[in-house]
Structure 1
Amino acid sequence: MHTCPLCEAADVAHYHQDARRDYFQCQQCSLIFADPDKRLDPAMEKEVYDQHENNSEDLGYRRFLSRVATPLLDKLPAESLKGLDFGSGPGPTLSVMMSEAGHQVAIYDPYFAPDRSVLAQTYDFITCTEAIEHFYTPYQEWQQLLGMLKPGGWLGIMTKLALDYDAFARWHYKNDPTHVSFFSQATFSYLAERDGLDVEFVGNDVILLRKPQ
Structure 2
Amino acid sequence: MIPASDNCPLCSGQAVADYHRDQRRAYLQCSACQLVFVPQRFHLADDLEKAEYDLHENDPQDLGYRSFLNRLAQPLLEKLQPDSAGLDFGSGPGPCLSLILEEQGHSVALYDLYYANHPELLESQYDFITATEVVEHLARPLFELNRLWGMLRPGGHLAIMTKLVASPDKFTHWHYKSDPTHISFFSVATFAYLGRRLGSAPQFIGADVIIFQK
Task: State the TM-score, normalizing by the size of structure 2.
Answer: 0.96
Partner of 1:14, secondary structure, is strand
Q: Distance in 1 between matches of 2:90 and 2:182?
A: 14
Could you tell me how far 1:55 is from its partner in structure 2?
2.4
What residue number does 1:11 align with? Answer: 15
Does structure 2 retain, via aligned residues, the 8 Å contact 1:8–1:139?
A: no
Say whether 1:54 aligns with 2:48. Answer: no
What residue number does 1:135 align with? Answer: 138
Which of 160, 163, 186 does residue 160 from structure 1 map onto? 163
Say whether 1:35 aligns with 2:34. Answer: no
Unaligned runs of 5+ in 2: none
Q: Distance in 1 between matches of 2:126 and 2:101?
A: 13
What residue number does 1:110 align with? Answer: 113
Unaligned runs of 5+ in 1: none
Q: Give aligned-pair identity as a percent.
A: 53
Amino acid aligned to 1:20: R
Amino acid aligned to 1:59: L
Q: Distance in 2 between matches of 1:191 and 1:21?
A: 26
Count, aligned residues: 210
Which of 158, 181, 186 does residue 184 from structure 2 map onto? 181
What residue number does 2:200 align with? Answer: 197
Divergent runs of 4+, >4 A: none
Deviation per CA, 1:119-176, whole angstroms, max 9, x where unpaired?
Answer: 0001100000001100011121111111111111101100000001101111110011
Does structure 2 retain, via aligned residues, the 8 Å contact 1:25–1:32?
A: yes
Aligned-residue RMSD, C-alpha: 0.8
Does structure 1 retain, via aligned residues, the 8 Å contact 2:34–2:187?
A: yes
Task: State the TM-score, normalizing by the size of structure 1.
Answer: 0.96
